[in-house]
Structure 1
Amino acid sequence: MQKKVGNGILLKIIDEIPPVDKDAGNDIRSYLNTLTKPQGSLGRLEELVIQLGEITGSRFPEVSPPGIIVFAADHGIVSEGVSAYPQEVTSQMVDNFLHGGAAINVLAKQIGAKLEIVDIGVASTIETEGVISRKVRNGTENFLKKDAMSKEEALTAIGAGIEISEQFIDDGVKYLILGEMGIGNTTSSSAILAALSQVDIHEVVDAGAGISAEQMIHKQRIIKQAIFNRNPNPEDPLDVLVKVGGLEIAGKVGAILGAAIHRKPVLIDGFISTVAALLAYKLSPHVKDYMIIGHQSEERGHKLALDMLQMKPILNLNLRLGEGTGAALAFPILESSTKILKEMATFSSAGVAGAKQPSE
């Protein structure tokens, strides 16, 4: 039974997202300056733990155990020859996830994360045990020819994302990592970004999962024509999602909103996750305060999406896999920031003289 989210309910959910706790962040900043190190010497680690304190309202925030949600869905636009892989790879990879054979399985185990795979719109029926079924429909429409989904379907997928994130939080997860699987989803993400940014399509569209230069030109042409055909409103993120979006992207939008409602941080993965984060931000600008970007991917459009969010990634490892892998790799850095805050000695407790003030 899908959670129904209408326009009014979505606006209510957005309105319920609390502001971050700046007082907690200021307390952490002051406490960091008492630790046995030169002030600010841990750079970005200090920024991260201050943000975690603001998000959670805790002077000593915790990020473990983390939880990884991988949303899986198919895209009708694949019929236009925009992907290097056939559509059935989506369901095959879901099966691989469920049997523990994918990169995200390895990394989830490494960081001790709860990992769940959500079928929110795979074209075929997933029968493997362990999948969470929140299927809205069997893949999106071919958005070259018609809207990717209806408004009701988009809202239902957002509702599913909210619901699943809340279930993770109820199970004790303190940090959400979002991943995805869906052949054709870089095409959908590129179309969303092009619609929201209004930049030339060549600045956005890349090779995705390894298409040739000729195929990339074809992909750019298809997306440009699809945006012309669908005419999404760049001022209305829900309209953009309906016309050229993906169900797994909608699910991630909901999961981000759900985490923010409950004051939990979200570690954003690569290009597709950042496009979902951008949609969530367009729906509710202050939701950005709850997001941290795990890495910058090789996808051409990812830097543009990050610039639009005015956010910087933790890592840049030339990744372009998806699944939540880059975010999972960044997670230990976040955990390190919390451990430094909690476990380092202060100058006073260690009996170490602090820095001399200018007047001394």
Structure 2
Amino acid sequence: MKSVNDIPDAIAPLDSAAMARAQQRLDSLVKPPGSMGRLESLAVQLAGIRGSERALALPQKEIVVMAADHGVWEEGVTPSPQVVTAIQANNILRGVAGVNAMAKTAGARVTLVDTGIIGGPVAGAVNGHQGQGSGNIARGPAMSRAQAEQIILWSARWVAEQAANGLDLLGVGELGMGNTTPAAAVICAITGQPPEEVVGFGANLPPEQLAHKVAVVRRALATNAPDAQDGLGVLAAVGGFDLAAMSGAILGAAAAGIPVVLDGYLSYASALAACLIAPAARDYLIPSHTSAERGSQIALAHLQLQPYLDLAMRLGEGSGAALAFTLVDAACAMHNEMATLAECNIQL
């Protein structure tokens, strides 16, 4: 992939023959047809992604946390001090953050990527550092178009390297104080929904400050005027380093034939941009949970995706994706390990 324009051609359509065989096996298992609900459709999707030549098993799982600071923090859109990004990044590296706990239950590793933490590059993180935080979108673009493309390509290539080394399943998460503001701006820009329908409280924003956050997003959209059909341009105008890196990871995984479990609000915003760049990437997406953040349902409806979990979570970091890994394992186990009706001498 030499440019973002090369990515769509690198993403293969799902293997329809493998999907048909998976559905046939599911219908032959010792259960009423369709009785395992959405686990069955998940197994069929995974079969289509894995293809005819690979077993329906995904043992090597990884959550990648894209971390960055945002210039829009200066507008008072979050009560969290900006230094918390670096502090929490180190907590993830130490293995004591929420995503680490959830990933442990799923047998997945966690990788922190510093895409633009103030004070970075952060020692111990994968170095994708693009600068000391992205631009303040309320006053100008988050980054140049060239830089957005550079981040997407870097992230896509990095994921491709992980796939070449045996990665089977990717979860995408993020970390960055104030990053629900650019996420809301991205969702508004692509879906056309107004900020008052999309902007939420983020990391415990006091209710009386919500109108201010809405106004900041409205100002960002007016200042940068992103094109709703240009995913790369939207990320450059009102996104951020972490959002662009997540879009790149989604595209890189799809190009490598790996399913991608989305985490929540931020990853849904990145998925919107990624699917504008390469619509075929959507078939590789597994939405983990319904975020408690306003606007997540708008993004999901635009993507035509239905999440598997609804736990009123809004931590981020990839924590919801880690929980959904267990559902992916369950879908594979159902397909692989249940006996068939014939094996149980049952005739219907």
Q: TM-score, normalized by length of structure 2?
A: 0.97
Aligned partner of 1:139 in structure 2 is 133
Residue 113 of structure 2: which of 106, 114, 118 is its match? 118
Please tell me whether Structure 1 or Structure 2 has the larger radius of gyration of its CA atoms: 1
How many matched pairs? Answer: 347
Give the conservation status (yes or no) of the 8 Å contact 1:136–1:156: no
- Distance in 2 separating the partners of 1:210 and 1:201: 18
Partner of 2:18: 24
What is the CA-CA distance between 1:354 and the residue it aligns to?
2.9
The answer as to whether partners of 2:199 and 2:294 remain within 8 angstroms in 1 is: yes
Q: Which amino acid aligns with 1:125?
A: G
Contact 1:60–1:338, Cα closer than 8 Å, also in 2:
no
In 1, the alpha carbon distance for the partners of 2:323 and 2:122 equals 30
Of 152, 157, 163, which residue of structure 2 is paired with 1:158?
Answer: 152
Distance across 1 between alignment mates of 2:134 and 2:256: 30
Which of 50, 58, 64 is the matching residue for 1:63? 58
Listed as ranges, the matches of 1:1-360 within 5 Å are 9-58=3-52, 60-128=55-123, 130-351=124-345, 353-355=346-348
CA distance in structure 2 between the aligned counterparts of 1:123 and 1:349, rounded to whole angstroms? 60
Instruction: Report deviation, 1:11.
Output: 1.1
Counterpart of 1:107, as a letter, is M
The residue type paired with residue 26 of structure 1 is A
> How much does 1:53 deviate?
0.2
- In the alignment, is the contact (CA less than 8 A) between 2:260 and 2:285 conserved in 1? yes
Partners of 1:271 and 1:225 lie apart in 2 by 21
Measured on the aligned residues, the alpha-carbon RMSD in Å equals 1.2
Q: Give the secondary structure class of the aligned counterpart of 1:29.
A: helix
Deviations along 1:170-197, one digit per CA (max 9) or x if unpaired, are: 2211000011001111000001111111
What per-residue deviation string (whole Å, max 9, x for no partner) do you get for residues 204-256 of structure 1?
Answer: 00001110112111100111112111111112111111111011111111111
Code of the residue aligned with 1:297 in structure 2: it is S
* Structure 1 residues not aligned, in runs of 5+: 356-360
CA contact (8 A) 1:91 1:126 kept: no
* Partners of 1:67 and 1:168 within 8 A in 2: no
The whole-number CA distance in structure 2 between the counterparts of 1:114 and 1:173 is 11
What is the Cα deviation at residue 13 of structure 1? 2.1
Question: Separation in 2 of the partners of 1:62 and 1:150?
Answer: 40
Q: Secondary structure at the match of 1:239?
A: helix
Residue segments in structure 2 that go unaligned for 5+ positions in a row: none
Percent identity between the aligned chains? 38
Q: Distance in 1 between matches of 2:280 and 2:128?
A: 28
Q: Secondary structure at the match of 1:55?
A: helix
The SS at the match of 1:214 is helix
**Structure 1: distance between partners of 2:167 and 2:122:** 27
Give the CA deviation at 1:277.
Answer: 0.7
Letter in 2 for 1:210: N
Give 3-state SS (helix, strand or coil) of 2:258's partner. Answer: coil
Shift of the alpha carbon at 1:20?
0.7
Contact 1:74 1:139 in 2 (8 A): yes
Residues in 1 aligned to 2:252 and 2:232: alpha-carbon distance in whole angstroms: 17
Give the conservation status (yes or no) of the 8 Å contact 1:121–1:247: yes
Q: d(CA) in 1 for partners of 2:110 and 2:160? A: 14
